[in-house]
Structure 1
Amino acid sequence: MMKKNNYNNVSSNGETLKILEIDPWLKPYKKDIGLRMNSYKRTKHSLLGDEGNFKDFANGHHFFGFHKSEDGWYYREWAPAAEALFLIGDFNSWNRESHPLTKKEGGVWEIFIPGKEALAHKSKVKVRVKSKGTDRDRIPLYIRKVVQDPNTHDFSGQIWEPEEPYKWSDENFRVDSAKPPLIYETHIGMAQEKEGIGTYKEFEDNILPRVKAMGYNTIQIMAIMEHPYYASFGYHVSNYFAASSWFGTPEELKSLVDKAHSMGIAVLMDIVQSHAVKNFAEGINEFDGTAHQFFHSGGRGYHKAWDSKLFNYGKHEVIHFLLSSIKYWLEEYHFDGFRFDGVTSMIYHDHGLGTAFDEYSKYFSLNTDIEALTYLQFANELIKEIRPDAISIAEDMSGMPGMCLPVAYGGIGFDYRLAMGMPDFWVNTLKRKDEDWDLGKLWHELSTSRPGEKRIAYVESHDQALVGDKTLIFRMADKEMYWHMNKDSQNISIDRAIALHKMIRFITISLGSEGYLNFMGNEFGHPEWIDFPREGNGWSFKHCRRLWSLSDNPFLRYEDLKNFDIAMIRLMSEEGLIGGGNPQPLWLDQKKKIIAFRKRDYVFIFNFHPTESHEGFGIPIHEEGSYQVVLDTDEHRFGGYERISHNTVYEVGTLPKYHTHSGIVIYLPSRTAMVLKKIK
């Protein structure tokens, strides 16, 4: 239940909620917001009572599963509809009858195995579950490690109880909330150049130093939760308390996180609680023999587009299971927060498929799943109770109002929302001729956000790099990348792609969002697509890796793009130019394709025109001062043509063509961007 000092002034129709003051356009929907807040209060009270908290509630992993005591081992499961459970494994030669569990209250099953050595570290286990019409060998729900037999390819649970627990050295690490998150989105397995699956250890040794050198302060790791099919990109989760064994051991993952913290890098986990793999043998589906143990029954419990199962967020035991998973990853692996996958799918009954969220009424209809919104409020409240400095990010393409406002305001409680419209905008823009780009729409898409809500800007994530799609640079350069990425080669398509790759990233990171994300390798224009090994490609790893050597080769233009990304990130980070409110527009010229704006003492100028350069162009500044270029996309070190002077000091004066305006007169080469700093 809510604490007594929370929401004591909230009426049933939500009249006093601060969200309505922040966004007055929501006032016609105050009853709908009141409904979701009443759901929050009512469900919280039923779970916690008058004075409880989620930190003490979300302890399923401390009770269920395998726990070593002074006298032996306890093993517990929640399987309310099961008729019998039997623990099987190496320890009893897989005897299917010798170790039955006893049923307790509330659908809990338990067995005590005497002797501290009864279950050995790394021994394999499963649980045989008998229910009406079914008799299956299953992986325990709270298992902390899963392994696959190299011969039979079957998965089993594995006891993980090393003699010496991992010794952390990061006790003093905290996320610095004063620094906007600069997120390097990663996947452990494909982070290496070899044609195979990379490991936690290889990532720690080889990739973390790259991330640090590039200036990113946060990594977001995909596919950490155990998943039986490698090519699912980690989104068909089977085990909610097991770190993926594809990449190594739990200790190796902990070492990776520990090392990142020692380098000042926060570590976010891509958490998948929007759906689950439908597999019986590897996952949690029908664990107790019923479809409704964790998921909705019938069509509501199945996601046709994803071929996966959908959680029943209105069920208290499901809330307990999922919240315990969140607490487990924070406690056990010291993650600094989460990017919640598939939030849009969670919060709408139609999963947001095919819906254009172009008016407020679509957020507050019968299509809205209030139980899912309530769960997400609980999840964010739990995260902040455990780690007030932790970060939570919503992958919500719908832009649900209040998604990134505090629960106390009537919001859902996330810190940030991925600005998923940005990559779509760039894909659609690149389908037009350069002369037809709409700079008004560009400004609106990149600078507009919901009042008081923070966004993570990005040009492309892993989604745009998957097979069947194209990365930004491959859309622009295509097959020419195979032949003309040498610095000595001249090619019009490559020149355009290199120039726009830099400009698009620069304007995206600078136009107002409070954070920035890049998928690994995209910063240097990684060629081609991501295609996981599968039957259709002969189980090849050729396109499931990162070719870091391309960016390290001084003879290739990939190095130019990498160098620009490093300089861009450093400038935006060190000078505090990310976020900070809306930029001040100075000039927007649709015909000449010029955008200029100011952020504090910096002026950003972009000339997107493909051919027209402008000599003596006047940019209004509206205040006295002197300015000097500190970074531009046309520098030689970035593969440019050195057309922009860094030595010239531009004095603000009366503009020749606009005698009522003061500003600077400057040369604007075609397809370039620059930023000037006020020096006095």
Structure 2
Amino acid sequence: MSNVHVYSLFSEFDISLFKAGKHFRLYEKLGSHPMTVNGEKGTYFAVWAPSAKSVSVVGDFNFWIEGDHKLNVRWDGSGIWEGFIPGVEPGTIYKYKIQSNNNDIKTEKADPFARRAEHPPKTASVVYDANYKWKDKKWMTTRAKYNSLDTPFSVYEVHLSSWRKTGEENRSLSYTEMADELVAYVKKMEFTHVEFMPIMEYPYDPSWGYQLTGYFAPTSRFGYPEEFMLLVDKFHQAGIGVILDWVPSHFPEDAHGLGNFDGSHLYEHPDPRKGWHPDWKSLIFNYGRNEVRAFLISNALFWLDQYHIDGLRVDAVASMLYLDYSREDGEWEPNEFGGRENLDAISFLEELNMTVYKNFPDVQTIAEESTSYAGVSKPVFLGGLGFGMKWMMGWMHDTLEYFKKEPVYRKFHQNDITFSLTYAFSENFMLPLSHDEVVYGKKSLFDRMPGTEWQRFANLRLMFGYMFTHPGTKLIFQGGEFAQSSEWNFQQSLDWHLLEYDFHIGLQQCVIDLNKLYKTHPALFEKQFSHEGFEWIEWADGENSVLTYIRKGYKSKESVLVVCNYTPVPRENYRIGAPAELYKAGGKLREVFNSNAKKYGGSGDFILESVAVEAVPWNNRENSIKIDLAPLAVMVFAL
């Protein structure tokens, strides 16, 4: 009698959807599923391996002996091998032993759909049946208003392994510990969302998680899957959304991973011009293969469905869009129309976004896309890729380049700090100061700032103030919020001891108050993706290195005035044209934020309670105000 019973979770309709690339809940069918069949407890296994001659489940339950538990191939040409193995319970360690049709290749693979993986460097899958009772109903039923495009969206980006480590043992916090410490910290900092760098299982720590092998398993480095669920749940109970970094752009060649899965190019494109990534020395998915598209889209929906995730930041989209990405002439082949666009990847991204928003209309997808590809965050029906937002890499680059210059030279580079507004509303942009900007010799944000210690902190407060008043949503990588002075090192904890010093405490408080400012002034978020929400007062005062602009609300009818002084020179009696809507509403403006405040580490000078609007024409406006500008500071005024 066979050790594997004939059993299936697939209907004929499931198979037809799978073959067509339209089955987006494959995690309910493929993988290992503990269950009871005919009164017997055990586990149902199913794996896609169309080039296999045989597939055995091997593990600690059968001493890793091939052939004792052979799966049955389906008759319908789907390439799915399946069967029920009695007695295999949750916690069982296993892999698939796959013999290819040509008999020459045997591979031992982790389950692509495993819900849990062994702790690296071990590489096997684990039969798992998460049993978690969610307590985030309030968040889930109301999160649409917190995830929409016309609400505050301020993201704290976290690398779980290095955010904080414990004492002398230098151990990363567990999911459970983070459910206390990290949640409380993000709440204190007033961020609206947290974003985790990839938490799907990955074998190699220096990849920071961007070389995935376990697409459906949260890494076991920090605990069990339900403990990660607890972490998400605690964020939701605290009113904070959770975004996951998601990597459909490439995958590693590790022997237990997806590469050469059944002795054939199953998941990766068979043509190395499309299937090999020269930058990351990794494999690229075959986006034109229906079953691969279904695998990836199912994976995206899995995290939204099973883990209540509120958004996916999609990594390296630019590398997917272009056939010649990081390739020289002769290393790539044009598409059927002679162009450089990867048409299969483009249609995959369109289908991904349409499917995500159809099933979860209250989440966001966010593209890390570094080129000028048009319509990344426009709906597919309007010819776009369908993402909710796109990282504004141009703003990030220009801003950091500008701020590293000595202030005396900034007057010659006024265009660097204003250029972003020429295209700010072409996409739904998120302003990212991410992990990529504080590694590989780029220095920390703080260490890029010029001048004396006081000026460096003032510059950093000014840059954050400019960021939070610039149109678009916000993202800050861990450590930036308290002026981590050294580059990020994934092997070490952040330098939390710096918060023993006043300047670092002051900067942290500045970021807290900027998040509060952003959340409490609708002018800063209601029209954050529309030109209707922004108006220049004066952008050309390069001589003084001063910018003045208005942010406008919609439903609230609120407007705020923003003044940035990018030099350490106070500007006395500086006149600014007053917006008509502000003047008509009463004639006095109150200062609601000043980055030069003493509590932030500023001098405490040039703090204004209110300022009167005068009937003096200026900046092509009938009325104006006259104020003293604080050095290296941003000042924000409202009614």
Tell me the TM-score normalized by structure 1.
Answer: 0.82
Q: Find the counterpart in structure 2 of residue 10 from structure 1.
A: none
CA change 1:445–1:591 in 2 (3 A) is same
Does residue 551 of structure 2 align to residue 599 of structure 1?
Answer: yes
Partner of residue 597 from structure 2, selected from 625, 635, 646: 635
Give the match for residue 466 of structure 2. 507
Superposed displacement of residue 446, structure 1: 4.9
Partners of 2:395 and 2:350 in 1: CA distance: 26
Residues 353 and 626 (structure 1 numbering): CA distance in 2 closer, same or farther, change over 3 Å? farther
Counterpart of 1:597 in structure 2: which amino acid?
Y
The aligned amino acid for 1:662 is N
After TM superposition, list the pairs within 5 Å mapping 1:242-641 onto structure 2.
242-281=217-256, 283-351=257-325, 366-437=339-410, 438-446=413-421, 448-451=423-426, 453-458=427-432, 460-476=433-449, 493-513=452-472, 515-532=473-490, 541=491, 544-551=492-499, 553=500, 555-579=501-525, 580=527, 581-582=530-531, 583-588=534-539, 589-600=541-552, 601-610=559-568, 612-623=569-580, 624=583, 625-641=587-603
Query: After superposition, what is the alpha-carbon deviation per residue over 1:469-515, rounded to whole angstroms, capped at 9, x for unaligned?
Result: 212211226xxxxxxxxxxxxxx5211211110111111221211x1
* Alignment pair present for 1:647 and 2:620: no
- Once superposed, what is the RMSD of the aligned Cα atoms? 2.5
* Secondary structure at the counterpart of residue 523 of structure 1: helix
Tell me how far 1:53 sits from its aligned partner: 11
Q: Against the structure 1 CA distance between its residues 504 and 446, is the aligned structure 2 distance closer, same or farther, given a 3 Å change threshold?
A: farther
Gaps of 5+ in 2: 1-14, 330-334, 553-558
Q: Distance in 2 between matches of 1:143 and 1:446?
A: 46
1:584 match: secondary structure = strand
Conserved 8 A contact 2:613-2:623? no
How big is the shift at 1:365? 6.7
Equivalent residue for 1:180, pick from 152, 172, 175: 152
Q: Secondary structure at the match of 1:649?
A: strand
Distance 1:353 1:528 in 2: 33
Task: Give the Å deviation of 1:603.
Answer: 0.9
Question: Is the partner of 1:285 in helix, strand or coil?
Answer: coil
* Offset of residue 297 of structure 1: 2.8
Using the TM superposition, give the Cα deviation of residue 111 of structure 1 relative to its aligned residue in structure 2, in angstroms: 4.0
Equivalent of 1:86 in 52, 56, 61:
56
CA distance in 1, matches of 2:619, 2:478: 45
Pair 1:63 & 2:29 matched: yes
Report the secondary structure of 1:161's partner residue: coil
The answer to whether the Cα contact below 8 Å between 1:87 and 1:96 also exists between their aligned partners in 2 is yes
**What residue identity is the alignment partner of 1:130?**
Q
Kept in 1: contact 2:72–2:83 (CA 8 A): no
**C-alpha separation in 1, matches of 2:547 and 2:620:** 21
Uncovered stretches (5+) of structure 1, i.e. residues with no partner: 1-45, 356-361, 478-491, 533-540
- One-letter amino acid matched to 2:288: G
Q: Quick check: 2:33–2:128 contact (8 Å CA) kept in 1?
A: no
Kindly state the Cα deviation for residue 547 of structure 1 after the two structures are TM-superposed.
2.7
Q: CA deviation at 1:245?
A: 1.1
Aligned-residue sequence identity (percent) comes to: 26
Give 3-state SS (helix, strand or coil) of 1:112's partner. strand
Equivalent residues of 1:434, 1:609 under 8 A apart: yes
Which residue identity does 1:140 align to in structure 2? D
Seen in structure 2, the aligned counterparts of structure 1 residues 110 and 81 have a Cα distance that, compared at 3 Å, is closer
Q: Deviations over 1:178-233 (max 9, x none)?
A: 42311111121112143332321122110111111111111111121110011211
User: 1:617-645 deviations in whole A, cap 9, x for unaligned?
Assistant: 11111422211212101100010111113
1:345-384 per-position Cα deviation (integer Å, ceiling 9, x unaligned): 00101226799xxxxxx9x971111111110111111111
Q: Which residue is equivalent to 2:629?
A: 668
- 3-state SS, counterpart of residue 384 of structure 2: coil
- Asked if 1 retains the 8 angstrom alpha-carbon contact of 2:404 and 2:449, the reply is no
Aligned CA distance change for structure 1 residues 196 and 354 (closer, same or farther; 3 Å): farther
| Deviation readout 1:277-335 (Å, 9 max, x if unpaired) | 11122x11011111344333323211111111001101101111111111211111111
Q: 1:129 aligns with which of 98, 103, 112?
A: 98
**SS of corresponding position for 1:502:** helix
Does the 8 A contact of 2:32 with 2:45 survive in 1? yes
Contact 2:278–2:327 (8 Å) recurs in 1: no
**Count of aligned residue pairs for this structure pair:** 584
C-alpha distance 546-216 of structure 1, shift in aligned 2 (>3 A): same
